[in-house]
Chain A
Amino acid sequence: MTAILTPVRGRQLVYRINPVAKLLASMIITIGILLSIDWVSASVALAFELVLCLWSGLSARRLLARTWPILVAAVFAGVTILLYGSPSGATYARFLFVHITDGSIEFSIATTLRVIAVALPAVVLFVTIDPTELGDGLAQLLKLPSRFVIGGLAGFRLVGLFLDDWRSLELARRARGVADSGKLRRLASMAFSLLVLSIRRGSKLATAMEARGFGGPAKRTWARTSTFGWPGAGLVIIAFLVAAVSIAAAVMAGSWNFLGSG
């Protein structure tokens, strides 16, 4: 079977940080960067992040494998703004709707850097999150209802089975002689079959969970403690510092522009 929910493990410090702290840290950095559209705050944050990547628990190769889609997206966003962004300052080129100016160049660099600066910590921190630990953290630290958290976790495990089901459905349709034409109709019918199969799997899983006392009257205990601890607190403090320093740098450089208002 295809496993989607394999445990994530490693020895580095980053694996000891509570997933909830990682969630908070990437939210703090994101908010800090999104407050202003300028290239100073984004590049300062990005510089910090790149240094912090040394402790991400990922090799340079895995880091690149996980982040290249972001790099591509960021460059595309930058080029789009370069060509079509609102014009201001000296004009360098003009062709139909394309209008490259001082303003659009600056805006384009700022956008590219910001896309990377926002996405990088999110991706890097989430790679090392173990779904089960995230569930523990959400339930124990953020006090989300256990039914919701456990249900989500158990349901997520079924996704791997659905991928296998989908492949079998595809082969079975070829075997039954109906795979030649009407691709759209076939996809719709496969989606329907998958829905039927997934409801059946889901109800079997629910029975198995119920038989193990899930949803019973007893107050649920947790076999694993989820504590924020120093590594988690440390990460959140670092995230605050990154956000604060990059904003301060932008304000001092005079490029700070709140939500693009300047």
Chain B
Amino acid sequence: MTSSVPDAAPAPVWAVFDRQNDLLSAVAEVRRLGLEIVDIYSPYAVHGLERVAGFRRSRMHRVAFVFGSLGVLCALALQYWTTAISWPINVGNKPWNSWPAFIPVTFELMVLFAGVGSIVVFLGLSRLWPGRQAELPFAGLTDDRFALGVQPSLGTAQGAELAQLLRDHGALQTLIGPPTGQEEAR
């Protein structure tokens, strides 16, 4: 897409690693040089990587809070309306709005809304749904390979120089330009 523009930003450089410590040191180096990280692929959540890479903390807890609050409100509204307005029934001479007895159901619906809501939002934000084709830049990324994409800017290390730098940090293979798909990494 960008290749037709003459003064476009330099091509991204991709590197494949097979050890998480190599990946972590390469990411730290790339960050030290002030280069932008396009993305990182890993087969498992590497402890501390988001801190080294400087990725923004997820704000999913806010989503859960909003859905949880919605659950509480819905649960209280449902129980109040059914037992105090729609058809009040005397149960053990409790008041119509016997809210302490409503707490267990309110708690359960809070958990249900917060849990289901955060999963649905997570799947939506991450563009995950049944039948979606996985976009894997290299092979082995769900097994034991890590991939790091770096976007150099003008005036920083780029191209072959950047690729060499990543190889010095233990990259098995480097690629200048966007990966076309299942490049052989094994």
A and B from one assembly?
A: no
Which chain B residues have a beta carbon within 8 Å of chain A's beta carbons? none
